[in-house]
Amino acid sequence: MNLRDLHYLVALAEHRHFGRAAEACFVSQPTLSTQIKKLEDELGVPLVERTPRKVLLTDVGREIANRARDVLNEIEQIKGVARRTVDPESGTVRLGIFPTLGPYLLPHVVPMVRDRFPRLELLLVEEKTETVLHRLREGKLDAGVLALPIHDDSLHAEFLFEEPFLLAVPQSHPLAKRPQLKLNDLSDQSLLLLEDGHCLRDQALEVCHMAGAGEKSGFRATSLETLRQMVAANVGITLLPTLAVKPPVAQAPNLQLVEFSGHPPSRRIAMLWRKSSAMGGFLKQLADVFCSLPRDLLDPHSAATASARRRRVA
């Protein structure tokens, strides 16, 4: 048994197809099939059920594949320890981030990371929260930037910042003339929301629940940009995170931003990594860079003021 064979088994478990698994491992299909058969002979148990259309792992095959994945992850941890001993600020970090934050946060923070760690290769993966968590637990990501709360005792959560929400309304909407809002001002409103699977949907629903507001029926957006354009088209109103309305993001015409008074509704952002990760010390340094964002980027008042100024000029 060797690490290469374990890698082949894990690939087969993920792809459920000899050809695709071989392609992922950069070997020929006969080579991968032969090595899997040798592994079965060595262990003395069948790992794979071969059917005409797809590959199924046996019960013991699935258990061994899961353990093999853990072994391969540990090997990567060992290599990471060695690399960072030689050069603590070099190497690769695979970072997951969710779609309603990534495009708006990364233009600000990536240059800061580059300045602080010029030899670091930062590989960014944008996926919904559950996918980021799944890949993080499996060792396919080193860390994830996600919205709290995350309930997983195997993960360390390093708080980064709190991002307030603003209300986005068409310029003709009665609430557009208000300098500030209270949550109960939304009690008779129906908000446009994202489709299931986006954490921003859950956060907006929580705000709706606190305010006594509802969801506009018959429509669920696939992206934050769709929500923005639907508001501009007079379809309804929605909540937008502060970073999503700050430059370099272009403001949609006919869209007015209104801030909330007092402590506004918000989302809390954290960087998460496995508690067992050998990169924990370095990831804490990386998180510190994310924490050092200019405070005005998270200030909803300046965004609302700029929006009102544009409305008066128009």
pLDDT in tens, 214-241: 888 888 888 999 999 999 999 999 999 9
Residue 19: CB atoms within 10 Å: 13
Q: pLDDT at residue 262 above 90?
A: no
Q: pLDDT at residue 289 above 60?
A: yes
Higher pLDDT, 140 or 91: 140
Question: CA–CA separation, 230 vs 221, rounded Å?
Answer: 9
> What counts of helices (H) and strands (E) characterise the chain?
10, 12
Least confident of 111-120, 130-139, 207-216, 237-246: 207-216
Reported pTM:
0.77
- pLDDT value of position 217: 83
Confidence tier at 311 by pLDDT (50, 70, 90): low
Q: How is residue 173 written in tokens? A: 């909407």
| Average pLDDT across the chain, whole number | 90
Cα-Cα-Cα-Cα torsion 209, 238, 202, 289, nearest 10 degrees, comes to -120
Q: What angle do CA 94, 133, 200 make, to 5 degrees?
A: 105
